[in-house]
Amino acid sequence: MSQQQSLELDIDQFINDLSSAETEQELARQISLARQLSQQGFPSLVLEHDGIRHQIPVDYSDHWLTLADIIDKLN
């Protein structure tokens, strides 16, 4: 069984959705947001809380450090 069949993916619908005006608008919105955040690198994690954006360092070897920083920013 192909992946398309196992996912029950409608290729025509996928192509229509991918090239839709709504998708283009959302892509433009996401690019604009990324430029506003002025993040360096990918992936990056930004928390917006009470109208303030905080860059959250991601520690791939210890997720508790990342979680602790998020909790700190929320308090």
pLDDT band at residue 1 under the 50/70/90 scheme? low
pLDDT band at 49 (very low <50, low <70, confident <90, very high): very high
pLDDT in tens, 26-39: 999 988 888 887 66
pTM metric for this prediction: 0.52
**In angstroms, rounded to a whole number, what is the distance separating the alpha carbons of residues 58 and 75?**
19
Burial 27-60 (b: 16+ CB within 10 A, else e): eeeeeeeeeeeeeeeeeeeeeeeeeeeeebeeee
Rg (CA), the chain: 18
